[in-house]
Structure 1
């Protein structure tokens, strides 16, 4: 995050070598051993790593090269962890704001139909019964369609409000767009922001910290409160574009944002419909960076039980 704010010469002299060393360590010390371990310990489990190792191009029949698999494994932690971190935050906010959980569940039931499953809700499953329970649950509940997914406006509001308050991806870099004078020279005049209140050097790189932008009291009333309604329909459209940058900005905007959005809305809807959540410890956790990039509620513990049929109209 600091690299764009340093002079280019400093980066080239002192930090390029460190970057190359870190990249090598990531590839050879992390990704390659993961691949080697899986090849030496094959499993019948169907997961992304297995698909990378066994997959073949449908037209040519060719497999991925070793270097390509390493590239994918290195990329995976960023691309596959941000959305789950946001979901963990969403469950926290829904537990702390039970009225929001009730509204979310009510909407899901209205879209998918009344909940009739969970006859054994709240009971722990034995290993012998786990597979039978999974088959029974699949028979009991409906499968969500793309059309139904698009009707979950409150769930979408919950996801957006969660992204606003949790900033699962904490920020991104920007810099002024290059300008030219009438004579065709580089325009070095400062860039004025905030109606002239702030002057930024014409080529100054900046880091946008979303935790600050997304809680601006001049934009959001009671900005630290969890209110999904302000992230829905007309209220959402009325917000400035600058507070909707959950997936980054410009050409470097998250390339997987559509997948991440569908993942978060779908999984949250399924969890709200099928499970009950209760916080175990409201004090023994904290928001902090966990891993390479993500921010999540580290140490947050919840009790999760299957939803009972009797709770069809309640949280």
Structure 2
């Protein structure tokens, strides 16, 4: 059956498959209301890479293969749309970061304001608080003993909720000191489940479900009350910490000059409390399941952790050395992305699959991560197997673009990705270092509980402290980015200028730029610092030019877009003769297609214009833990080059 509300007919197109329908109901009965993911997986096996469903008159097109998901990941043709269950969640969080429609201005304001709060540098500074919450989980398991049956999903919910509240809002929920699950998480789970049901319920039926509606409103009130309490506490007792909540309350959008409204603050606070713990707790629970069902992988991971840590507490600097842990996390998210569905819509009438499937402008396209992450065309015939090795030794970096999408995609991808990655790395490394885990039921097979996210259902484990491990040792805090003792090469700070410009959305590139500008006087330079957009027309040869910038989905930072346009139009041979420059690029290698695109382009354009490169372009990767070490090494090389006799004479006259 062809449903014209989703598809077009073109000379080259073929009908999009659809299951048989029922009068008035369409394909509603094809989806299990308790576990729609299971139904979507079965339908994918039956109908292949694409099919469509009529859900009470609302038609959705479902794509499952890598080829089609890659195609709808083109943001010049498709954009995110909040529909179905996500639209129902707007009853609580309105136009928050996760649920806003593309045309709503509050999303842009919140996104620009809050990106720096979850940048790599800001998240690195949260290690101490993350470790504190992690220690509460470790000590609970140790004190309850090896005979205690543990529901890891519940304890991971506690650790993730307390972590996001403490790190981003400086608010203590103290979930580990309560016998029951936190009231917020119970209300949230019921609210999300009911939101899913409401999306496929006729309005007339919904209207007469008075008890269900009353429970729904009560759950929302409980969550709103917590948000109000957190904001009221901060206003009554301000703190000097510049965290997420402080940003929402006191900062202005750099583009519009607007502040976040009280309503938007409450909505986004709830968004982070929900999204900031639900997906992380699910990921950790799935990871425990896959490791316990694959004991060889658990042994390899435990051996790596023992070898790297040697019995001490994990530090941030260790993350980049835990290659098997990183691979295990990536493989867990391949097989079990906790946010299994995203929705997009075409901006114009278009086709998919080399013209095979014609799609109308505005059609609802459901992108299914679970079947896409199992596509044999990308992952091979063993795609159903848990095999972390497929993510190691350059294989992850060699994946085709958009083949791994557990954090969503594009400009609307998860803003808290770095936060979640650091949190899960810390928690799982600490657990596996300190405990031997076993299944209560060795025959347990994976069952799933679904709200808007998914997590294992009914998984029970025991945690036995490992021999020789001191679980009561203090949990030290890793050192931060240390400032080197700088030589006072030239005390006179009336020397030549140095121009330091940055392009930064998350704050990391800006912090590195400030570091260089702050050191300049010790080397005899008078540094000025500004955004790249402020650099237009200021590329002059009387002092070194330093650019620190990143790519954001392959595009310049918000405060570097105009400079990129200017540079491209200005570039011609000899345009920048005499300019000496250095570029350091920040980025995340998980985004293979766009990694270092903008820093590389700046480097190439300046060279094409006749400028002289001082040092090789620096490459900082926030996908591991080597970003800060890479900057340190590049920064040392930059200053060594600038004080090298020939350049020192050129710039400093010494």
Residues 21-52 of structure 1 deviation map (CA, whole Å, 9 limit, x = unaligned): 5669378522234468xx7xxxxxxxx89986
Checking the alignment, whether the CA contact within 8 Å between 1:83 and 1:260 is kept in structure 2 is yes
Q: CA deviation at 1:98?
A: 0.7
2:386 matches 1:216: no
Cα distance in 2 for partners of 1:50, 1:151 equals 42
> In 2, Cα distance between the equivalents of 1:177 and 1:274?
51
- Give the distance between the partners of 1:50 and 1:111, measured in 2 at CA: 44
Question: Which of 349, 357, 360 pairs up with 1:201?
Answer: 360
Tell me which moved more, 68-77 or 208-217: 68-77
- Cα distance 1:59–1:298, how it changes in 2: closer, same or farther (>3 A)? closer
- Whether 1:91 and 2:91 are equivalent positions in the alignment is no
Conserved in 2, the CA contact under 8 Å of 1:5 and 1:205?
A: yes
* Residue 464 of structure 2 is aligned to residue 305 of structure 1: yes
SS at match of 1:103: helix
Aligned to 1:30: 222
Could you tell me which runs of 5 or more consecutive residues in structure 2 were left unpaired when the two chains were aligned: 1-35, 37-54, 62-80, 95-216, 250-260, 470-654
Task: Give the conservation status (yes or no) of the 8 Å contact 2:390–2:396.
Answer: yes
Q: 1:105 aligns with which of 302, 313, 316?
A: 302
1:296 and 1:76 map into 2 onto residues whose CA distance is 17
Q: 2:87, 2:401 → 1: CA distance?
A: 38
Over residues 27-81 of structure 1, what are the superposed CA-to-partner deviations in whole Å (9 max), with x where a residue is unaligned?
8522234468xx7xxxxxxxx8998687625289x98698545752454122211
Q: CA RMSD in A?
A: 3.8
The structure with the largest alpha-carbon Rg is 2
Task: Tell me if the contact between 1:164 and 1:246 (Cα under 8 Å) persists in the aligned partners.
Answer: yes
Closer/same/farther in 2, CA of residues 234 and 284 from structure 1, 3 Å limit:
closer
Match of 1:252 among 404, 412, 418: 412
Q: Assess, with a 3 A threshold, how the Cα gap between structure 1 residues 252 and 93 changes in structure 2: closer, same or farther.
A: same
Query: Following superposition of structure 1 onto structure 2, how do residues 21-100 of structure 1 map, counting pairs within 5 Å?
Result: 25=217, 28-34=220-226, 56=238, 58=240, 68=265, 71-73=268-270, 75-100=272-297
Distance 2:270 2:365 in 1: 30
State the TM-score, normalizing by the size of structure 1.
0.68
Shift of 1:251: 1.3
- TM-aligned CA deviation for residue 147 of structure 1: 1.8
The equivalent of 1:266 in structure 2 is 426
Contact 1:285 1:298 in 2 (8 A): no
Task: Give, in angstroms, the shift of residue 247 of structure 1.
Answer: 0.3
Aligned residue in 2 for 1:125:
none
For 2:335, which of 161, 165, 169 is the aligned residue?
Answer: 165
Decide which moves more: 152-161 or 213-222: 213-222
**Alpha carbons of 1:225 and 1:16: their partners in 2 closer, same or farther (altered >3 Å)?**
closer
Deviation at 1:203? 4.1
Shift of 1:264: 1.4
**Other-structure match for 2:393:** 233
Aligned length: 254
Q: Write the deviation string for residues 224-260 of structure 1: whole angstroms up to 9, x where unpaired.
A: 1000010123111222222211100111100101111
Asked if 1:176 is matched to 2:335, the reply is no
Distance across 2 between alignment mates of 1:94 and 1:59: 38
Is residue 280 from structure 1 mapped to residue 425 from structure 2 by the alignment? Answer: no
Determine which of 317, 325, 328 is the counterpart of 1:147: 317
Report the CA distance between 1:177 and its aligned residue: 5.2
How far 1:265 sits from its partner (Å)?
1.6
| Closer, same or farther: CA 58–95 of 1 in aligned 2, 3 Å | same
TM-score (structure 2 length as normaliser): 0.35
| Higher RCO (C-alpha under 8 Å, 6+ residues apart) | 1
CA-CA distance at 1:207 after TM superposition: 1.2
Distance 1:276 1:219 in 2: 34
